[in-house]
């Protein structure tokens, strides 16, 4: 494997792509340190550091992880690439449910039009989310951040609220659009998926702080013994190995093509396979489940301030939806939501009817299955079975950091690297990037990262 990394520098085109990718990722990280004009990011950074364990599993902690610390710095990249991710998900779901967009996506230049619509939607979502962030967090932080004292916006800017809001929203929107553009440039001219690499770089940026906390827990504060350290290291290696195995796993459906006439020549048939990924939905069910549980908990917490039995009742509901105090109730709801969204994502993005029609159109068929509806039913049944296995895997991976934090007292920043969204994203993106690098190596007659075989592609 070390020789493969050395070979990447011997290919001029690959070396240029890698340097280009690392250079743009460094620029993206710079945006996380440039503050929005008129905002005191140091005060918010101190608050996040003091409340790290309490905020780690919440919505703000999740958002801060995806932005790589830009949120607590009140930087121009405080919204990160998330508006673009949200716009992409919305467009993907609209293409699946709206026939007009579905027809556009199947046209010759349809994907370019969908990409353009996604960019327009990103600008709108960025401006809307920027306005909410400016009004709710920057101008009134005490209402959103429990235990925060002081102000974030300087008095000089507060004297002109309209101008301040306009300047802040423009800066936040511009930061998101720049990250989106840099991500597209990495995808076209670099190595790997640019948007995924930006999110991965933001997550990995928290690794030094996690290592520092680990050192303090085991060797400075001595809260745990060396046996616990070895056990946690074994858990980490097991989680990474499981994520790699399930991410690579796929159900191969055999597809047979008959001989057919194209123009004036006969095209021979053949046999290939259709790969159906076990973890087809990726990390999206975990993100959706976290969001669904976080918002009601915040609402119940605000309603609990009312006097009388109503306030006590809403306070009890808020405790049930609290990750640290909800116990078995929270874990059960969280697991059920992951299962629901796993099947929902597959149902909206995997179109077995279209796949069966395309196979029939090009003379392909699944051995033992009649073309058309029987093939679609077979694909739906097969996908449902493997989605069940993928949902079980996602549930276990998502619960590991919570168990470490709740029952073992591990700092949430450290526990987040033992599973959950962060580990799934990092491992998945690294595998995808290594596949692309290995493709460049193999096409130029160099050995790949593995001496026996190569990384299995997704297609």
The residue behind tokens 């949902």 is 391
Pair 203, 424: CB distance under 8 Å: no
- Give the residue among 21, 15, 27 at the shortest CA–CA distance from 430: 21
The residue behind tokens 């990995």 is 204
Rounded distance, CA 331 to CA 395, Å?
9
Contacting residues for 95 by C-beta, under 8 A, at least 6 apart: 101, 102, 105, 114
Contacting residues for 239 by C-beta, under 8 A, at least 6 apart: 397, 400, 418, 419, 423
Low-confidence ranges of the chain (pLDDT < 50): 326, 457-459
Contacting residues for 186 by C-beta, under 8 A, at least 6 apart: 20, 21, 24, 25, 192, 193, 194, 197, 198
Which H or E run includes 429? helix 420-443
Amino acid 307: pLDDT = 55
Which H or E run includes 289? helix 284-303
Amino acid 399: pLDDT = 87
Six-digit token pair at 327?
A: 């116990």
- Give the residue among 431, 379, 28, 74 at the shortest CA–CA distance from 245: 431
In the CATH scheme, what is the code of domain 1-205?
1.10.3370.10
Amino acid 458: pLDDT = 40
Rounded distance, CA 337 to CA 332, Å?
9
Amino acid 459: pLDDT = 38
Amino acid 180: pLDDT = 93
Amino acid 448: pLDDT = 60
Pair 259, 267: CB distance under 8 Å: yes
Predicted TM-score (pTM) of the model is 0.80
260-262 and 250-257 beta bridge pairing: unpaired
Amino acid 302: pLDDT = 64
Residues 242-297: tens digit of each pLDDT: 998 988 888 898 888 876 666 666 666 678 888 888 988 888 788 778 767 766 76
Rounded distance, CA 230 to CA 233, Å?
5
């Amino acid at each position: 494997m070390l020789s493969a990394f050395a070979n990447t520098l011997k290919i001029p085109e690959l070396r240029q792509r890698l340097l280009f990718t690392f250079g743009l990722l460094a620029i993206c990280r710079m945006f996380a340190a440039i503050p929005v004009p008129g905002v005191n990011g140091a005060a918010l950074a101190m608050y996040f550091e003091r409340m790290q364990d309490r905020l780690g599993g919440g919505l703000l902690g999740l958002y801060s992880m995806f932005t790589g610390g830009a949120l607590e710095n009140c930087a121009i990249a405080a919204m990160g690439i998330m508006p673009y991710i949200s716009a992409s998900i919305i467009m993907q779901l609209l293409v699946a449910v709206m026939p007009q967009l579905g027809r556009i996506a199947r046209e010759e230049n349809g994907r370019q039009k969908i990409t353009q619509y996604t960019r327009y939607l990103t600008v709108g979502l960025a401006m809307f989310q920027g306005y909410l962030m400016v009004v709710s967090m920057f101008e009134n932080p005490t209402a959103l951040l429990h235990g925060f004292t002081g102000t974030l916006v300087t008095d000089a800017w507060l004297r002109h609220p309209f101008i301040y809001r306009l300047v802040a929203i423009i800066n936040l929107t511009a930061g998101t659009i720049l990250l989106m553009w840099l991500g597209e440039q990495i995808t076209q001219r670099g190595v790997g998926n640019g948007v995924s690499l930006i999110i991965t770089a933001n997550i990995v940026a928290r690794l030094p702080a996690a290592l520092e906390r680990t050192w303090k827990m085991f060797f400075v504060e001595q809260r745990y013994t060396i046996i616990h350290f070895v056990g946690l290291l074994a858990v980490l290696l097991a989680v990474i190995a499981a994520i790699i195995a399930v991410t690579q796993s796929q159900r191969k459906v055999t597809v047979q093509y008959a001989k057919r006439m194209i123009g004036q020549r006969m095209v021979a048939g053949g046999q290939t396979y259709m790969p159906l990924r076990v973890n087809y939905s990726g990390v999206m069910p975990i993100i959706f489940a976290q969001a669904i549980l976080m918002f009601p908990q915040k609402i119940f917490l605000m309603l609990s301030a009312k006097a009388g039995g109503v306030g006590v009742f809403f306070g009890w509901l808020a405790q049930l939806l609290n990750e640290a105090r909800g116990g078995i109730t929270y874990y059960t709801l969280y697991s059920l939501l992951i299962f629901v969204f796993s099947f929902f994502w597959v149902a909206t993005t995997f179109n077995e009817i279209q796949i069966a029609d395309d196979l029939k159109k090009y003379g392909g068929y699944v051995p033992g299955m009649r073309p058309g509806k029987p093939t679609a039913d077979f694909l739906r049944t097969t996908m449902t079975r493997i989605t069940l296995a993928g949902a079980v895997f996602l549930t276990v991976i998502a619960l590991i950091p919570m168990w470490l934090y709740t029952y073992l007292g591990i700092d949430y920043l450290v526990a987040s690297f033992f599973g959950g969204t962060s580990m799934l994203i990092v491992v998945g993106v690294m595998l995808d990037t290594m596949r692309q690098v290995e493709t460049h190596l193999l096409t130029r007659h160099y050995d790949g990262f593995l001496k026996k075989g190569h990384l299995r592609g997704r297609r």
